[in-house]
Structure 1
Amino acid sequence: MTSSFLLRHPGVSAARGATARDWTSQHHSHDQVDKLEKHLSVVEVLEKHGLQKPILYVKNSQNSEEEGHQLMVKLCRHTGRKNPPVSETVWRGLLQDLLDMQQNVYTCLKPKTCHQVFVESLLCSSRVENVRLAGQLMHCSKVSQDVPVSLSFRGKGCALKVAYDNSVELVLAAAREYFNSSTTLTDPCMGLARTCLQLITDCPPTIQEELDLINALTQLEDFSVSILPLQVRLRSDRLSLIEECIAHCSTAYKQSTTLLSLASLLRVAGDDEATRKGQVLTLLAEQALQCLDFKASYIHCQDLMAAGYSLAWEVCSLLGQCEGYGDLEARQELLAFSLTHCPPDNIHGLLAASSDLQTQVLYQAVNYQMEPVNTESGREADETDSVKASAPTVGSPVGTAGDLLHRTTAKTMEVLTTTGLTTKAVLTAVSDHRWWKESLNYLRPLQGHGAGATSQKGACENSNLERQGCSPFYQELIEDPYVDLSQDVYSSYKDVPQENFAEVLLRTGKLAEAKTEGKTLFPATEVLLQLANDAFPRDMMLALSYLLALPQVLDANRCFEKQCHSALSLQLAAYYYSLQIYSHLKPCFKDKNHTLYQACLALVESRALSSTMLS
């Protein structure tokens, strides 16, 4: 129909407009009726489950995602709180009602949101059967297949399962709520928390941590630690719980495995297993030391030292300085570890303690080597591990010197064999000049047995000094050297060669001299001569070093006169005096390096000899 026709017949146009308006109005009315019916259906669902809401509330909240979500949560929680509890059939119907509400009115929500709200309500319903029912509507493993749920849940939208990550979050939230509300380990809520966590079959770290926290409560109860589960969760310093266990049990230091397991369950030090073990073992070592169980404390300290746990230096130093602990070698090891890891301010004190202990060990070694002492029970005391020497025969010079020393140090030896030698007693004895005199009386007869009398057996092969003896470390630098195989600790691992009597005596004297800051001078000449005499066949440079340390230069003659007059020994004697002459002519200054250590050895010798001839 053309526009000209409509202009000529205006009544037709007006009638058609009225018809269109009537149709639009009628269609709008139908839409409103449909919406009203849907709103009424939601109100009916709410009323069916015991929740009253007006139609206006549904109409105003239909486009609000937050209000729609809150309404569904409220509906599910209200159903879960009913008494007596509702059956599975009611829960099945509720899920379908939630999906209908979402599809008809609350389209701003997603179907998966309805499933999550429903599953969350099942988990928090405080009933085991509902928790297990929730497990059927979740992916409980990351690798699980998306298989349909049980037949009882078939229907519109019911085959959908909650995603794995969301399932873990829901389970954790429910389990924590149950855990935090528990008053004791036997509280029913604790069992519900465990049931929730066990739904996730592959047990990721977050789930395992919650399970471990529950298991930790059992062990805390075994140690009589009374504490609310929520307090355990909120305790930021979990190590303090281990301290409480130790405080409640006087023999906790004997249960290291249990306490380390508890610390692991509590995640002490987080995921740092080394720090966790170090912290716990340190506490146990301290308790064992307080209980005077030195052996147990040392066992824990050994584990700490093996692990390199530096913060254990303090307990190691305490045990190392404990005079009641008779294992001197163990105490030396403990102090060495403490010195390695202690703060700088503690080094001086620990060095002094280590020096005292070393003096005690060496003093004991000297006395035992001179004459093994019989204990009160009549058994002969064992020689120390650091020095092994045969007992002197009756009537020999060695035996005479040993008898004399035993008489002059009777009180000291009595203390040694009965109550244990204290550091103070050792230092007093070592500071006594009579002790040095008698010790040297024992040493002098050994020098009369000829060159190498007290050296090791292998050194006799080079007693004629035709080849230059040297340490195995330097054998490649010398042409046709003599190497004492008993001193070779480089080619294969074996125990360090044992020290002879003179070496032990020298170390004892120098430690005592250092302890008294030079007030007690050690008469080192006899010892140095003996050491040089022993070292000549096996290591000439070492022998030369001993001779250069003599207080009086000419005392070296006593050593040279006892050596075989080979070309090598005569050259070494000339070299020794050349060095002494050069050192005398060119004194050493502290502010610069001495030219003695820079010049060629041959040049030094020629210059020294020339100076001697000119003078």
Structure 2
Amino acid sequence: SGIDINSLQTYSPHDFLPIFKAKNKNQLQKIIHSLGIHLNAAKILSRYNNPIPLRWFLQSAKNYTMQKQLCIQLSRRTNDFEVDGEHFENESEWIQLLEDMKILQGDGRGVLGEISIEGIYENFISGLLKFRLAREILLPTDESHPLKMDITEKLVINASREFFDNATSGNMNHAEIELIEATHALSEKKICYQPGVPIHPLHIRISPNRLDFIDRLLSTYEDAYRDPNSIIKLATKLGYRNDKVAEVKVMAMLADAALRDNNFVTAYDTCVDLVNVIKAMASANKGDNENTELALANDAAWRICYEVAKQENYRDLEQQMTLMGYALSLCPSDQIADLLNLWRKLDEEQRSARTLKAKTNLPEKSVSEKVKPAVERVESVLMTPLFQGDRLKNLVSSWLGSGF
């Protein structure tokens, strides 16, 4: 109508008379109806010690930001004042607050009409510290759920993050939020703690080996290994942030999952990446021969490298030899003999393949340019770490001397 809302407080009843005279009957009924909604809203808000001047209702009409601010104030302020001499912690009072917020929303026609009903629940839950009550409200057993399950899950995650971000103490670090997110991710994948028992944060917290959940996920979803970043990110949220041993173990699980899917390319690439992580660990711990973490990482690495290399269906001898070189350089001394048996078998197959290729008269490099025999390449490149100590000198020399 061209009237400055901010100036309404200076108007007298006589000033309003010509304004109302210019309105027809329908317009006047609409104004009276809106006034009734505003007065009822003001009554509700004053009940929660949140008085609002009537002009605010005109200013906030169709204004999402202003309505959102009021919604947040309403859900938060209940923790800061007392009602009838008692703190606002009575469950019936919380339930009444939710009902009043829904009245203010008014199916999109109230003073909080710009806020969706999902938004009302989100703001309410973000201020509610009674989690059992929140569960009863969001997941009632005697009536239909007020929100879809995916919206409910997202709402709870956001509320949990809100509690953490606004905590007065930072002692509960980010790992607590990550644990909730990890539980959410595992639950979405229908990973159970036990058959028929949904997983809860407590199950993860008390688990002696949280990587078991990663293994269970990879076993349940055969193609989950194709998104390694998500799997590694999940491991960090399970409490293994900056844990290189856990990272190596997870990568070994990914390689094993690829192997079960007969994806030798991914399995090989993952093993190479895994060995690079171990190289970085070894470099950072140079001179520490008794490093327990490095020993644990080496154990997981050599086993998966050996497991991939020995597969009968693997048709890339060069890659198999590379993996065996890794396995030999990382395994404990008492495992070397068994691994060298496979190494010798692969080397013989590689020599046979070269002989067969020569017989087919395919173009080859000159003798001086031919690839060195596998044993020589391992001695000069892959097996170098083995000769840095005395544990293999005699054993490997005997193999070389016997024509291996």
Normalised by the length of structure 2, the TM-score is 0.49
Asked which structure has the greater CA Rg, the reply is 1
Normalised by the length of structure 1, the TM-score is 0.35
- Which protein has greater RCO, CA pairs closer than 8 Å, 6+ apart? 2
